[in-house]
Amino acid sequence: EAGVAQSPRYKIIEKRQSVAFWCNPISGHATLYWYQQILGQGPKLLIQFQNNGVVDDSQLPKDRFSAERLKGVDSTLKIQPAKLEDSAVYLCASSLDGTGVGEKLFFGSGTQLSVL
Amino acid sequence: AQKITQTQPGMFVQEKEAVTLDCTYDTSDPSYGLFWYKQPSSGEMIFLIYQGSYDQQNATEGRYSLNFQKARKSANLVISASQLGDSAMYFCAMREQQTGANNLFFGTGTRLTVIP
């Protein structure tokens, strides 16, 4: 079974530029998550989708970050314009249906973003 | 207040020895789940073990076991017979039912180094 796919693996941009990350979850997983992991910290949830609807985007800086999940499968996370403090690893995860405290999340390898 | 606290930034263990990674949590929700994930240098978060708040027995998965002390609100990970491949970052995480079981809160992680 294929895991969560993310691309690109690495991205270097200058501040004020825009960038987009792509994620393809495990087939059949209804719930998709984007996490931001700043160096030395644990991952922090940015946004959670249930199929193609947003469940939680309370931690998403909506003035510069946007995300969509068309057709309830792939997802794209965009930053425009990027700031220095956006340098981080962006992790995508998926789970079966997003309910229940015991549901496991499966993560991709992440996109490492450096903003210069 | 931090929901998950990992007080050990780094730990060293001799190959074939056992090691305990500490995790304490903070919640008033009677229904919650505790997870441990491993993050090797490749970046992917790998699920290791899960403990539900109502589980009577400590969880075990191969060489991993979770020392769950509910009254102390601790969920320490025990790795037995350490291997060189165990060198990685380890994250403790929690999910609460009262928040709709949406968000997985992570600690800051512990870097484990296995010495040959």
CB–CB contact B47 A99 (8 Å):
no
pLDDT at residue number B1: 62
Of the candidates B96, B104, B107, the beta carbon closest to that of A105 is on B104
| Cβ-contact B20, B87 below 8 angstroms | no
* pLDDT for A101 beyond 90: no
CB–CB contact A101 B93 (8 Å):
no
| Cβ-contact B26, B2 below 8 angstroms | yes
Cα–Cα distance between B26 and B72 in angstroms, integer? 10
Q: In this predicted model, what pLDDT tens digit does every residue of B56-97 receive, in sequence order? A: 999 999 999 999 999 999 999 999 999 999 999 999 999 988
CB–CB contact B103 A48 (8 Å):
yes
Q: How many residues does chain B have?
A: 116
The encoded tokens of residue A80 equal: 């425009």
pLDDT at residue number B101: 55
Q: In this predicted model, what pLDDT tens digit does every residue of A42-62 receive, in sequence order? A: 999 999 999 889 988 999 999
pLDDT at residue number A103: 87
